[in-house]
A and B are shown apart, each in its own frame.
Chain A
């Protein structure tokens, strides 16, 4: 039996057993609807508000009323962007975002562009750090919203959110932060960091899929996208998914309690992985920022070979990871993030993304560092692009 090493946590995380345990009673024992007035309803409502308080605590929000449950990161991003755009369109029609955002920010912005909004995409440097002077220059009197991710899930780079918030507020606009990749991994404080709206996903912190949250600072007005029975104080209708809500609450509680020790452990493993790979494989490079990066993110690229064949080769040895190669995407385009940091198409194709998690050990890292050089060597031997001196 080969070893099985899962290093694709940005694609999907296992639900923590403690989270699963907390959720279980809410499927068939405490199954009430929180809108009901009887004891079943009260039980569900209490569970929901407990969960809300835990997410509020995770991100340093002031009040429970500032946190809204959604179906996940994608919905939170859609709600924040469209909700602000529609609500504030009489004040202005300009949205500012960056070239490295997730598709669930990119595509709502694209849709708004078609509806008559203007969108400016701020560039990043070679490490994926948003260029603050460009961002400042992009802001106009018409700017109503700026949407910047807290950290990039692909290259791991963490942004200077507090500074961005200062610039944005100086011009009277709102700051939305997509914290799907960052929440639970690094400490975030919405108050200190000038954040008006923030998207959070459950599965990215070992909670169940299909649930997320949107932080909306008190006083920030936003229009609902999904209308119905008026749940979540009218911002997000639909009967609440209590087991999932309990799950994200428990996940937030655990991740807050363990963030420091787990973050340090993962950073150590990540550094060992990056160092091991770069030292043992010629013409290999790190993508993203060398230090300002998520503790679990190692994105490396290898010249002259392509990522999908790397993934297949690693999979044969029981290792799971992702790539920014076009060959692994649904659109056959290489990752827009890797292109935005200035990589050529062929460089982006040769990128591998390892995202570590709670179950990964030092032995897992050793296993990958040992396996990868032979895989790269074999694929380089097959590739017509490999220079002769690398083949010996």
Chain B
């Protein structure tokens, strides 16, 4: 059902965990639906210096979370905001159609974390 790339990320998720003093935190999904993910980012000089995730969900949810951390790390915030759900799925060699909507939340999680960072930054001014 899943590509080898999805399974590889499911078996060995990259950047799993949390960042205690994260600059931005984004949580998307809902345990009721079966998928919940939290993305933590550390921002330095407008770049995502560190990124980690925690995810409750299916294989696709865990693999997309892992993939987004690889895609976003080192990117500027503007570049990171451009990463789409489709980019995440493509980088994993595709997802089963039924999983495209429900479990492909990682891009949303990343964007939420960036918005959280921008909001906190705004509040500090």
Contact = CB atoms under 8 A, between A and B. Distances in A.
A binds B: yes
Given A327-B57, A327-B103, A334 B31 contact: no
Contacts of A312: 2, 7, 10, 59
The 8 closest A-B pairs by CB, nearest first: A327-B58, A308-B58, A384-B54, A346-B31, A345-B32, A383-B56, A349-B34, A384-B38
A325 interface: yes
A309 B54 contact: no
B36 interface: yes
B81 interface: no
B31 A345 contact: yes
A346 B32 contact: yes
Given A309-B58, A346-B32, A381-B16, 18 more contacts: A304-B56, A305-B56, A309-B62, A326-B33, A326-B34, A327-B34, A327-B58, A327-B60, A327-B61, A332-B34, A334-B34, A344-B32, A349-B34, A382-B16, A384-B38, A384-B54, A384-B55, A385-B56
B56 A306 contact: yes
Contact of A309 (B10, B27, B33, B36): B10
Nearest to B56: A383
A384 B58 contact: no
Nearest to A349: B34
B57 to A, nearest CB: 5
A384 B11 CA distance: 18
B34 A345 contact: yes
A316 interface: yes
A327 B58 CA distance: 6
A334 B35 CA distance: 12
Contacts of A384: 18, 27, 36-38, 54-56
A330 interface: yes
B13 interface: yes
Contacts of B102: 327, 332
B98 interface: yes
18 contacts: A304-B56, A305-B56, A306-B35, A306-B58, A309-B58, A327-B58, A327-B60, A330-B98, A332-B98, A345-B32, A345-B33, A345-B34, A346-B31, A346-B32, A382-B54, A384-B37, A385-B36, A385-B56
A157 B18 CA distance: 41
Main secondary structure of the interface of B (DSSP, over half): mixed
B8 to A, nearest CB: 11
Interface of B: 2, 7, 10-11, 13, 16, 18, 27, 31-38, 54-62, 98, 102-103
Interface string A338-356: 0000001110010000000
Contact of A308 (B7, B18, B36, B59): B59
B34 to A, nearest CB: 5
Contacts of B56: 304-306, 382-385
Contacts of A309: 10, 57-59, 61-62
Interface string A377-392: 0000111110000000
Given A306-B58, A308-B59, A382 B13 contact: yes
A306 B32 CA distance: 11
Given A306-B34, A330-B98, A345-B31, A383 B58 contact: no
- Tell which of A305, A328, A345, A383 has the most Cβ of chain B within 10 Å: A383
